[in-house]
Amino acid sequence: MLSTSIMALVLALTLAFTAMLFWRRQKRENQPQDVPPETSSQEIFSDTGSTGDLTMQNRAHKHHDGHHRGRGKKGKCRPVSLTNSPDRQVIPRDHHPVSRREISDNALKVLHRLTSNGFDAYLVGGCIRDIYFDLHPKDFDVATNATPEQVRRLFRNSRVIGRRFKLVHVLFGREMIEVATFRASHDNNATSQEHGRDKSHHSDSGRILRDNVYGSMEDDALRRDFTVNALYYDARDFTVVDFCNGVQDIEDEVLRLIGDPVTRYHEDPVRMLRALRFKAKLDFTIDPETADPIFELGHLLRDIPAARMFDEILKLLQSGKGVRTFELLQEYGLLKHLFSATSHCLEAGDDYCEELIYSALRSTDKRIVKDRPVTPAFLFAALLWGPLQRQFRDLQEQGIPPVPAMQQAAMIVLDNQCAHTAIPKRFTMTIRDIWDMQYRLERRQPKQIDGLLAHPKFRAAYDFLVLREESGEQLDNAGQWWTDIQDGNEQGRNEMIRSLRNQPGGNGRKRRRRRQPRKRSPQNRNPES
């Protein structure tokens, strides 16, 4: 009897232990594709390697971050080559400023999952460049030798996007980590790989229409645009790998294309815009061999899809350096390929057009620096105001009344711009509202005041009106009037509206009452009855 009880107890314990193991395994498999919970990303990717000696770690971090923090872009980060290759420079942790504390935890998790599954994975591009300048990176990009399909299988919280350039977006709430497979030169496609048009394809002008030829890390470095963007951070040993002398160009503050600039611009004309954007952001000098072809090849931007061009314009003018970027677009002759009608107005010296644009750009830059929201609609309304006024005057000369002329002019100007820049409908509608309300805000008709104040786009239209006055347009002090009526109480508002009625043309004259027709008596209405 005792032995039977012991056997039953042993069996029960065995079943309980087996159930516990099965539960733990299921729990581990059902967790988000992430670093295992018992090991934090800081422990896995500690800058000093071992996690056992915390004292040594803290001491090392204090030394490293104390050496690089506050250094700015003037500091020296001499590459130390740890290999025999003259092109590949491996920079150890104590010779570069990249620390895991500057890197998103989610980016570290992506790196860990890829490397723990046997793949190579590196942080690359603008995030590493920005850390070198003590800037806080907004986006983190990962380069790997895993194909998009393999990455997708590793991360349930991911999706494959793009046909021209396949990428994987790994989603962590609102944060997105972009993962790209190492790219190779298209020459390799012709000689050693059988890929076909679904992997790579060029247009007649040389623009890359599809770029899904995969290669090695070295190939990938040579396929990137600028040397300062071809730095790879290896979270396994905390080194930075430099194939294109990018660290030296960071020290020299030089922006240089990788490869032949003419060929690279033909492959992707947007690189010309990126060159100007980085020059404005980093205050770099563009290498002459990189800069000179821009003046001759700007027309290639006309071949860029309109939807992509809209995104690139936002990156240019909503980066916090919009004023400087706009100056560079004019200096290098690219503005006429982005905003041809606006460029014509500036060349013709149209009144207030240039000052209005720069006022809008300065306002946008200030809001971005203060981390306040901005809308592309306001900026596009300013950029296209000059062409709108030209079209508006032409239509009025044809005898079209002001309100229909403004609406028709807005349609023409926006349609012409959207042919090259696909402005989404939600923004074009706001642009139309801002423009349409300008005429009514200037007139200040008493019966329209309350309706204008209640309009959903009143604030944007009012700000635009004030900006026009600040730019030198003579609007009979309309901007200040609308400022006062917003600041006043109800009694003050009513008094301001009454004063408008007493002004000439202010609808102060009473309307004549229409006389009702005199009713006829029934006998007079039908005398024959």
Q: Could you give the residue numbers annotated as active site?
A: 139, 141, 225
Report DSSP letters for 162-226, one per residue. Answer: -SSS-EEEEEETTEEEEEEEPB--HHHHHHT----TTTEEE-TTS-EEEE--B--HHHHHHHSSB
Is residue 286 classed as helix, strand or coil in its secondary structure?
strand
Pairwise CA distance, residues 335 & 345, whole Å: 12
Amino acid at 363: S
Report DSSP letters for 4-18, one per residue. Answer: HHHHHHHHHHHHHHH
Largest CA distance in the chain: 128
Report DSSP letters for 488-512, one per residue. Answer: S-HHHHHHHHHHHHTSTTSS-SPPP
Per 3-state DSSP, the chain is made up of helix, strand and coil in percentages (nearest 5) of 55, 10, 35
Pairwise CA distance, residues 125 & 233, whole Å: 9
Question: 249 near 256, Cβ under 8 Å?
Answer: yes
Which DSSP letter does residue 144 get?
E
Pairwise CA distance, residues 320 & 29, whole Å: 44
Pairwise CA distance, residues 280 & 270, whole Å: 16
Amino acid at 65: D
Count of CB atoms situated within 10 Å of the CB of 65: 15
Question: 205 near 297, Cβ under 8 Å?
Answer: no
